[in-house]
């Protein structure tokens, strides 16, 4: 399988610069890397982005996260392997990713309060931006049909 075209972020160098700056800012939020990978994986599963599912899974493995936890991300509600903070973050990732499925607010106050109970403003900022950037990449990759296993150097 081959992508339809080169990743647009590499075609337009200014995009890559902006993405790099955004990732740097996200890193300043202090969000644990495994949590960022979990929410990225969940959003990517929902969006059907094979390249990102593969990438987040590999990053979690490299970070030493158990196969049990990685495999349970798609069914996190029914798995005992996640903390309350991780569950809140996964719930937020789903809400932010499934905007078209909602008939009400994208992030209801109850969900916001739950997430805010676990993360300070910097961590929340990193979490929100991580989910948003993941959705950006999911949309790019599914459009150009980026295959799983693709790496970006």
Question: From its phi and psi, is residue 135 left (phi > 0), alpha (psi between -120 and 50) or beta?
Answer: alpha
Rounded distance between C-alpha atoms, residue 14 and residue 41, angstroms: 26
Q: Which pLDDT score, from 0 to 100, does residue 103 have?
A: 80
Q: Which two tokens stand for residue 41?
A: 């994986």
Lowest pLDDT segment from 7-21, 26-40, 58-72, 114-128:
7-21
Rounded distance between C-alpha atoms, residue 126 and residue 142, angstroms: 24
Q: What is the DSSP letter of 135?
A: H
Residue 151 scores a pLDDT above 80: no
Q: Which pLDDT score, from 0 to 100, does residue 102 have?
A: 75
Q: Which pLDDT score, from 0 to 100, does residue 153 have?
A: 56
Residue 149 scores a pLDDT above 70: yes
Residue 100 scores a pLDDT above 80: yes
Overall average pLDDT of the 54-70 stretch: 97
CATH superfamily of 32-144: AhpD-like (1.20.1290.10)
Q: Which pLDDT score, from 0 to 100, does residue 101 have?
A: 83
Q: Mean pLDDT for the chain?
A: 95
């Amino acid at each position: 399988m081959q992508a339809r075209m080169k990743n647009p972020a590499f075609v337009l160098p200014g995009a890559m610069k902006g993405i790099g700056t955004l990732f740097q800012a996200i890193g300043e939020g202090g969000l644990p890397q495994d949590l960022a990978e979990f929410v990225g994986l969940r959003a990517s599963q929902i969006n059907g982005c094979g390249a990102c599912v593969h990438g987040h899974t590999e990053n979690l493995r490299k970070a030493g996260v158990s196969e049990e936890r990685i495999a349970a991300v798609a069914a996190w509600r029914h798995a005992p392997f996640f903390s309350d903070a991780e569950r809140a973050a996964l719930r937020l990732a789903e809400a932010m990713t499934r905007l078209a499925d909602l008939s009400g607010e994208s992030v209801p106050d109850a969900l916001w309060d739950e997430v805010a109970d676990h993360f300070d403003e910097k961590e929340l900022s990193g979490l929100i931006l991580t989910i948003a950037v993941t959705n950006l990449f999911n949309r790019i990759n599914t459009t150009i049909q980026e295959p799983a296993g693709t790496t970006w150097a």
